[in-house]
Amino acid sequence: MRSEPLILAFDTSAAHCAAALLHGDTVLECRVEDMAKGQAERLMPMLQEMLARHGAVWRDLAAIGVGVGPGNFTGVRISVAAARGLALSLGVPALGVSALEAAALGLPRPLRVVMDARRAEVYAQDFGPDGAAMLTTLAALAARGAGALTGSGALALAALVPGARVLTAAMPLPEAIARIAAARRDTPQPRPAPLYLRGADAALPSEPLPVILA
C-alpha cells in the first residue's frame, strides 16, 4: 500500500511520446522519447514499462494527467483517448492540462508562454498575478508588451516585444502535467478534451457528395 498518491501523466501533442510517474511530491521517473510518428503504438507499452520499473500496477494509480495540446491534431487525440479509457476502466480521475499551462508551472509571474505553432504563428498564453489567462497568436502579440517569455518560438517573439526576458521551463513537460494533475485530483474537473486553437487542415471534397436513395 502506497502512503502517497501515485499519478501517471503523459503527452503526445508534439513529436514525442512523454510520460512521468509522480509519487506524492517525488518524481519516480520522467521520460521523453522523440518520435515524429508512432506514438499510438508506443504510448501504452511505454506507460506499462514505467509502472513495472517502479513495482506499480495500473490499479495503484490515484489519477491520470494528460496533455491536451495545443499541438499535433492526431497526437492530442491519442493521449486524450488513452486517458479517458484508462480513467473509465480504473475508476480514477483523468485531468487535462494544456502544454501552455504546464510550461508556466514554477516560473515567476506575470508571464507569457509562447509555443511554436508553425506557419509563422505561435500559440501564447498570458499568466498574470490574478490568474487571468488569454490565448492568442503571433499576429495579436506584436502590439502587446510582456514581462517574460518562455517556450519554443520565444526568441523570435522577443524581437517584437522590446525588453522581454526569455526564460526556460522550470521542469520537463510530463512532470509539470503530473504535478498540476496531482494538485487538482480532489477537485471535480471536466473530462479531458483536445485544445484546438486552429481549424482542421482537412478540406471537404470539391466533387458533389453521392446521393443516397431511399
Q: What domains can you pick out in the chain, each with its CATH number?
A: 6-100+170-184 (3.30.420.40), 107-167 (no CATH)
Q: Mean pLDDT across the stretch 171-184?
A: 97
| DSSP states of 85-125 | HHHHHHT--EEEE-HHHHHHTTS-SSEEEEEEEETTEEEEE
Q: How far apart are CA 64 and CA 181, in angstroms?
A: 7
Q: Kindly report, residue by residue over 131-177, the tens digit of the pLDDT.
A: 667 665 544 444 344 456 566 555 555 545 666 678 889 999 999 99
Q: Kindly report, residue by residue over 69-114, the tens digit of the pLDDT.
A: 999 999 999 999 999 999 999 999 999 999 999 999 999 988 888 8
Comparison of pLDDT for 25 and 114, the residue scoring more: 25
Q: Mean pLDDT across the stretch 19-35?
A: 98
The yes-or-no verdict on residue 118 having pLDDT over 80 is: no
